[in-house]
Structure 1
């Protein structure tokens, strides 16, 4: 944990700040007393890491910039202020105010972890009531809390299984916000959960399918791209995993765009496009009398006419087949 925090949080800057100025009494660490008489730090772990480094703790392959910051330090505080609470739940409101509504916002994963902690101590007869209680506590929407909890639980399953030993997939490479968005699609929910129609807190995650989802979303292949590609392709992925034929082809290596063509989604996409084109053409016809003629405009109109004829021919041929 010391190594992880040191390498992922610009710890040399905190070491330099404390080493140059000492520890500010106005910013105590936040801790919870344990049954063994020890203190678990809940808030301020980067500062705690810096303090440990200043007092001599080391780890393998420690970057030179951290070692230099430690070496230059004029202050090496051994005693610092800690605000001690009896239970983690007593700290939750403070953390939410600081990291969600306050000036030091958390990332999506940290917010979801916080929402899960709040949910565990919230009052309510069922999942929805407890989710609403959490939403009121942090000034958010219930649907946001629900999405965060779903994604958090799926993430924790993956993390517990070492991210299924997928190549280069870890806490740093997994985009939690993308996972949260993915699990909001009905098709992906039906794919990942064995019982997707049950209440959120009673759903069972299919670990094999969650592994597949993580591999498609986060394992990078040629040119550093995942099989999902861009986040907007989640619409296609949701359609593909809902169609057994398309899913089988995708699992065998077919590109997502190609697999999507074996779903009903391609028909709906076509309908949406032609309705939009028809609406735009009607608008253009309604104002064309007021438009000045130009060669570029004439060329565009001619191109539209040609594309429309090609579309009609291709559509008629498809119908004949």
Structure 2
């Protein structure tokens, strides 16, 4: 239902990427494939962790929890996008939009801190190997994961409450493929200066803060490797760190550009490209980057394959 100054909005229209039917069908196939590949790879990593005792270490504990986050994160945005690509009426209810935004902010915020926790774990493993098992005890890892979820839940509820307490009276068209803070704020008919300040504060809390912690951790790792390890070890660590940092910069960089842009640019088409990077592309790449070059994962896969073959022959 479209809004007027005296009518309360009960649904929003998600503009999406294109109105051309052939392009929509093509995008549907692309995003469906991305969703399937991403879900399968993340689920495989969780199953592999569960059934491989050699992977029951802090590093893989964080990776398994990271995969759980990614599965939920993808499931928040892509299913509705796929439905809208096959529908002429690309709408989402007012409360459905609020629920999607709350889940997206919760999971996105938790993911930012999970990346920082994973970097902190690697920092302790390489820079403090003698006391690593003392620093990264199981209870510490569990508390870090719970802390990531609690921070995400707090940010999600606060931001969603602030946005959906605003009156929307100019339009109900969201120039994006999901409900998010900046495009929704552009639809408000009240002064949103307070909301913009709060969004800026939250951006520093959930994006800039974890990003700095992550970069500092990897910086210390690289410095330690340069000082104390052989050329072969340096090459291996640099290769791993570089691939990890590509994901970190891609995820944090696109999110920062999205949430730190001025209000005058809200609703512009560039938002869709930025959103695409940290909502769909980064979650697709993460399992490959974090596991393909990992010898422990390869060994666990071989053992699982051997176990399955043995069971089948018996």
TM range (shorter): under 0.3
Q: Which has the higher contact order (CA 8 A, sep 6+)?
A: 2
TM-score by length of 1: 0.22
TM value normalised by structure 2: 0.23
Q: Flag the structure with higher helix content.
A: 2
